């Protein structure tokens, strides 16, 4: 029996991988403009990092992590998200000591969560994320929000919706926490086991429960906005004023809490309305996480970031029929007839590739008709035909597959001739 792919994973094949490359290149280009530098962190970390960084009351830590012991008895976990790992790298490598601050980083890579696979939710998925560490200026909150909105806009997505909230500072959160406990405690027995467990540990997470979201107490729960300190209110108002100045539309939603324990102050999600999703669907989430660096052993450092799923971005593009077409044509296909020509063809293809020209040849001993069909399937712009007669006089026949124009070119001049043709075609 053939070995099957693990559940919740996918093979990204030629024809589809070009879309991934295109999206990733958009991310690279945008981060360059915003002066964010790439960081690459390990795919697995010590489990303690996620217990302390993500939070032991989160679904990720309680239910979804791929955790294992190595041969030395150490508990390791495949990274379920990127912020904790990037923050750990920031501390481990003392990036807070560098002259250029704040430290502005981005990453693109696979994450792993053990959850029920469904459309847009895989066990191995790819995230593009941004982290800005070292500044408590609300202007950098606006910068991060502007970056992620611009990313989706440059992909060509429409009907985007930016939803923001403030989770407040420590004092605000403590006051709101007490109010939530008093609100839910008398009837907590009506809620799921997870919510009952969260009541004392992190009651804010009850508001994020999918099972009990329709319970009547959810709609009457105390709002964080009623408990924001003067400083927290001023901070959130400043973020909103920057977004308004940048002409970035947004909606304030006091019920937005996000699913990770480390968030405070600004929290946000980017949503899209697409028929294929059936409803408005979250594409991206993030927020400010002042305190996370200290939690994992670093100095007091404010931070803010976001993470988005490349898979969900592709789903949105497909739903809006905005998925780009990719030109997979090669520059030329070398057709050879006879053993001597076949041997020479190996050299010609090598020389063309070294000159920056995409080239291919036959490796299946096909007749001329079969080779021309192969050239057509590869959308070759030119064919180079070399047979015994051409080899005898030191020439090849070069055919423009679009116009049908044919030219005899000396073998010694083929590379320079093709470079001229390709560069001329690119200019046009």
Binding residues for L-histidine: 81-83, 113, 127, 131, 258, 262-263
Q: What DSSP string runs through 66-131?
A: -EEE-TTS-EEEE-S-SHHHHHHHHHHTTGGGSSS-SEEEEEEEEEE--S--BTTB-SEEEEEEEE
DSSP 290: T
Q: What is the 3-state secondary structure (H, E, C) of 319-362?
A: HCCCCCCCCCCCCEEEEECCHHHHHHHHHHHHHHHHCCCCEEEC
Q: 3-state class of 218 per DSSP?
A: helix
**Which residues define the annotated binding site?**
81-83, 113, 127, 131, 258, 262-263
Tokens of residue 132, six digits: 């800005």
Whether the CB-CB separation of 275 and 169 falls below 8 Å is answered with no
Q: How far apart are CA 186 and CA 8, in angstroms?
A: 40
Whether the CB-CB separation of 218 and 251 falls below 8 Å is answered with no
Strands 382-386 and 406-410: unpaired
Residue among 261, 286, 218, 255 at smallest CA distance from 59 = 261
Q: How far apart are CA 116 and CA 20, in angstroms?
A: 23
Q: How far apart are CA 170 and CA 137, in angstroms?
A: 17
Q: At what angle do helices 138-155 and 17-33 cross, to 10 degrees?
A: 150
Residue among 131, 66, 427, 128 at smallest CA distance from 307 = 128
Contacts of 92 (CB under 8 A, 6+ apart): none
Instruction: Put residue 46 in one of left, alpha, beta given phi > 0 → left and psi -120 to 50 → alpha.
Output: beta
- The partner residues of 398 in beta bridges, in order of sequence, read 384, 407
Tokens of residue 325, six digits: 């077409």
The single residue listed with the structure tokens 């004023």 is 241
């Amino acid at each position: 029996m053939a070995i099957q792919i693990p559940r919740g994973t996918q093979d990204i094949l030629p024809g589809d991988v070009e879309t991934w490359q295109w999206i990733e290149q958009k991310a690279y280009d945008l981060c360059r403009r915003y002066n964010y530098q790439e960081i690459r962190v390990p795919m697995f970390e010590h489990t303690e990092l996620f217990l302390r960084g993500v939070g032991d009351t989160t679904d990720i830590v309680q239910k979804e992590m791929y955790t294992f012991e190595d041969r030395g008895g150490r508990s390791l976990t495949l990274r379920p998200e990127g912020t904790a790992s990037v923050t750990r790298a920031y501390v481990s490598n003392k990036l807070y000591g560098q002259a250029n601050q704040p430290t502005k980083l981005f990453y693109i890579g696979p994450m792993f969560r053990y959850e029920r696979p469904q459309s847009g939710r895989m066990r191995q998925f790819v995230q593009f994320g941004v982290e800005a560490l070292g500044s408590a200026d609300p202007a950098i909150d606006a910068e991060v929000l502007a970056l992620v909105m611009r990313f989706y806009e440059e992909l060509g997505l429409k009907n985007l919706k930016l939803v923001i909230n403030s989770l407040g500072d420590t004092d605000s959160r403590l006051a709101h926490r007490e109010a939530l406990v008093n609100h839910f405690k008398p009837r907590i027995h009506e809620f799921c086991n997870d919510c009952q467990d969260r009541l004392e540990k992190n009651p804010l997470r009850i508001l994020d429960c999918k099972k009990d979201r329709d319970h009547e107490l959810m709609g009457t729960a105390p709002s964080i906005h009623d408990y924001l300190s003067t400083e927290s209110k001023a901070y959130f108002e400043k973020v909103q004023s920057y977004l308004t100045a940048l002409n970035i539309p947004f909606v304030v939603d006091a019920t937005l809490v996000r699913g990770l324990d480390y968030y405070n102050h600004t929290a946000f999600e980017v949503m899209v309305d697409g028929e294929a999703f059936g409803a408005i669907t979250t594409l991206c989430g993030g927020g400010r996480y002042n305190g996370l660096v200290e939690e994992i052993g670093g100095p007091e450092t404010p931070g803010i970031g976001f993470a988005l799923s490349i898979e969900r971005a592709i789903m949105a593009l497909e739903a809006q029929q905005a998925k780009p077409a990719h030109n997979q044509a090669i520059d030329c296909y070398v057709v050879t007839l006879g053993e001597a020509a076949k041997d020479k063809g190996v050299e010609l293809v090598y020389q063309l590739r070294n000159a920056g020209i995409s080239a291919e040849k036959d490796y299946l001993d096909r007749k001329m008709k079969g080779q021309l069909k192969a050239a057509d399937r590869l959308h070759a712009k030119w064919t180079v035909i070399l047979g015994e007669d051409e080899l005898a006089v030191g020439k090849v026949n070069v055919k423009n597959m679009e116009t049908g124009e044919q030219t005899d070119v000396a073998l010694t001049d083929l590379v320079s001739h093709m470079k001229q043709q390709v560069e001329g075609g690119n200019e046009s």
